[in-house]
Amino acid sequence: MKVAIEDIKRLKSLTGVGLTDAKKALEEVDGDFDKALEAMRKKGLTKAEKRGEREARAGLIGTYNHDGRIGVLIEVNCETDFVAKTDEFAELVKDLGMHIAAVSPEFLSMEEIPAQAREEKKVEFTEKAKSEGKPDAMLENIVEGMLKKYFAERCLLEQPFVKNPDLSVGQIVKDANARMGENIVVRRFSRIALGEVA
């Protein structure tokens, strides 16, 4: 199958691989760009993976306000002021703020879930699985699956992105990382809603 040169160039720019590798990846999935990009992500072939260790201390603290009823404060870091001052970076910060306002995540990532919160849910899900008569031999795997699903819905970077539910927020950040050529990190966020009691 013939692969479009535009797709090869786009894949090359997003992943940092050579033209030959980009072409080969597209040919392996019959020219399906999204599948080729996903396959390269799984292999860790994107520039974003390699960039992850670089320090990100520049960036923006962005705000998002929805109808004067929901407010979000978010810090997104990158490596240089040059990137931080681009419209594309500002748009990313705004989109992330809008997502937080809409979906109300509790945690930034799976790594930031407090051990106590995880343990409480583990006890709850274990009792639930036992009461449903799940076999003891499979209990640990079942509970682990329930925990993963529960917390994925509550972690910003795991949630489906509101503007493109086919991608997680984490993937949106990685794509921006690849496009802008810098390590981009969502550092922290805070969301408040009018009349909401903490």
CA distance linking residue 17 with residue 97, whole number of Å: 32
Residues 123 and 99 in one domain: no
- Take residue 111 and report the two structure tokens written for it: 């790594």
Residues 104 and 118 in one domain: no
Residues 33 and 11 in one domain: yes
Residue 198 maps to a domain: no
Residue 78 maps to a domain: yes
Task: Give residues with Cβ within 8 angstroms of 177, minimum separation 6.
Answer: 47, 48, 51, 183, 184
Residues 103 and 128 in one domain: no
CA distance linking residue 3 with residue 194, whole number of Å: 52
What are the helix and strand counts (H, E) for the chain? 9, 5
Residue 51 maps to a domain: no
Residue 84 maps to a domain: yes
Task: Give residues with Cβ within 8 angstroms of 30, minimum separation 6.
Answer: 1
Residue 100 maps to a domain: yes
The whole-model pTM stands at 0.69
| 131: containing domain | 114-152
Residues 143 and 184 in one domain: no
**Would the CA dihedral through 148, 153, 159, 164 be positive or negative?**
positive
Q: What is the pLDDT along the chain (198 residues), one digit of tens a residue?
A: 678 888 888 877 776 677 788 888 888 888 888 888 777 766 655 555 555 556 778 999 999 999 999 999 999 999 999 999 999 999 999 999 999 999 999 999 998 999 999 999 999 999 988 888 888 888 889 999 999 999 999 999 999 999 999 999 999 999 998 888 889 999 999 999 998 876
The 10 Å CB-count burial string (b at 16+, else e) for 11-40 is: bbebbbbeeebbbebbeebeeebeebbeeb
CA distance linking residue 94 with residue 100, whole number of Å: 10
Residues 10 and 90 in one domain: no
